[in-house]
Amino acid sequence: MPFRTSFFEFVYADETGAPCALRYRIAFTDTTERLAVIHLLHTDPEFTSPVDSAIARDNILNRIVDSALPGIPVNALRLVVEDARGAVEYAIEADIDDYIRRGNPYESGQVKAAGSRVRESISIRSESIIAGRTRVQTVHATPSPASEEVTHVLG
């Protein structure tokens, strides 16, 4: 049986700073590779939906990750946002600038580019990207239908 918390109330600011609210819960899949699914449930059309605002969505995501999921590898996290239009899943990625600024491990080197140019390359092992040690984001993600394993755990 997969694990699911009850829904919690969550207050956040939209892009203008206006207070908004939604509910969220965390669920674990019962698959071989256990995933932690963050489920945002937006029900009040008076408030900005996280589907419509990447800024609000990423601020909500970071507050939840930092407070409820520190220490979990980011590649084991999934985000599902549900509003009146349905449920969609967003890929979560690390904010690389923040990751490096916080002193997390990475390798860098120089790579020759066209002409006399040199580019710096950065390499980060995915298992080194840990929730709570860097900001995460969905701003570049395209919403997609929730995967079967995620849909199953949210029931």
Q: Is residue 82 part of a domain?
A: yes
Q: Which domain holds residue 78?
A: 3-101+130-154
Judge whether residue 1 has pLDDT over 60: no
Distances in whole angstroms, Cα of residue 109 to Cα of each of 94, 106, 119, 122, 125: 20, 10, 8, 7, 15
Q: Is residue 76 part of a domain?
A: yes
User: Residue 68: which region, alpha, beta or left (left: phi > 0; alpha: psi -120 to 50)?
Assistant: alpha
pLDDT digits over 16-59, tens only?
Answer: 999 999 999 999 998 888 999 999 999 999 999 999 999 999 99
Q: Is residue 117 part of a domain?
A: no
Residue 51: Cβ within 10 Å count: 20
Q: Is residue 110 part of a domain?
A: no
Q: Is residue 144 part of a domain?
A: yes
Domain count, the chain: 1
Judge whether residue 118 has pLDDT over 60: yes
> What confidence score (pLDDT) does residue 112 get?
83
Q: Is residue 107 part of a domain?
A: no
Total count of residues recorded for the chain: 155
Q: Is residue 14 part of a domain?
A: yes
- Smallest CA-to-CA distance from 136 within 89, 93, 76 is with 93
Q: Is residue 123 part of a domain?
A: no
* Residue 74 burial by Cβ neighbours in a 10 Å radius (0-12, 13-18, 19+): buried
Residues 33 and 77 sit within 8 Å (Cβ to Cβ): no
**pTM higher than the cut 0.75:** yes
pLDDT digits over 87-96, tens only?
Answer: 999 999 999 9
Q: Where are the alpha helices (DSSP H) in 47-147?
A: 54-68, 96-101
